[in-house]
């Protein structure tokens, strides 16, 4: 029996009263396994526009790089060289195609496991 894998959509249904966000803007939880060569993040408290079609990361002085969906709501970028913060993150909705950009949302000196609050949401 052949098994075929297909990407799954990921929507975060976080509580507006959850830790790390005031529930009105998207927060980004950095995966605990992230390091200078591997960055993974889960957008949290995404409201109103459903699954994400894509997530892209922009380093301090570089162009946008597509991230890959790792599992669930986690998106990752593996690099052959150290990534240069601050990072901007671009989210594209799978439902409407709307794009949001959280500029410099992940600061220089970011920490694995930390939550960083943006100023954007789909509402």
pLDDT tens for residues 19-64?
344 557 888 999 999 999 999 999 986 665 568 899 999 999 899 9
Tell me which residue of 41, 60, 62, 46 sits closest to 94, measured CA to CA. Answer: 46
DSSP output for the chain:
---------------TTSTT--SSS-EEEEPTT-BTTEEEEEEES--SS-SEEEEEEE-TTS-EEE-EEEETTEEEEE-SS---SSEEEEEEETTT--EEEEEEEE-TT--TT-EEE-S----
**pTM of the full structure:** 0.77
Look at residue 20 in the predicted model and tell me its pLDDT.
41
Distance CA 30, CA 108 (A): 13
Distance CA 82, CA 117 (A): 23
CATH of domain 28-117: 2.60.40.760
Which comes out higher in pLDDT, residue 118 or 12? 118
Look at residue 47 in the predicted model and tell me its pLDDT.
60
Residue 113 has pLDDT above 70, yes or no: yes
């Amino acid at each position: 029996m052949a098994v075929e894998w297909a990407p799954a959509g990921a929507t975060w249904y976080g509580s507006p009263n959850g830790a790390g966000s005031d529930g009105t803007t998207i927060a980004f939880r950095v995966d605990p396994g992230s390091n200078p060569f591997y960055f993974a993040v889960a957008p949290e408290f995404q409201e109103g526009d459903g699954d994400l079609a894509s997530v892209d990361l922009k380093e301090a002085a570089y162009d946008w790089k597509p991230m890959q969906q790792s599992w669930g709501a986690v998106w990752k970028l593996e690099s052959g060289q150290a990534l240069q913060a601050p990072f901007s993150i671009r989210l594209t909705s799978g439902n409407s195609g709307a794009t949001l950009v959280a500029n410099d949302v992940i600061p220089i000196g970011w920490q694995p496991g930390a939550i960083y609050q943006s100023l954007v949401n789909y509402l």
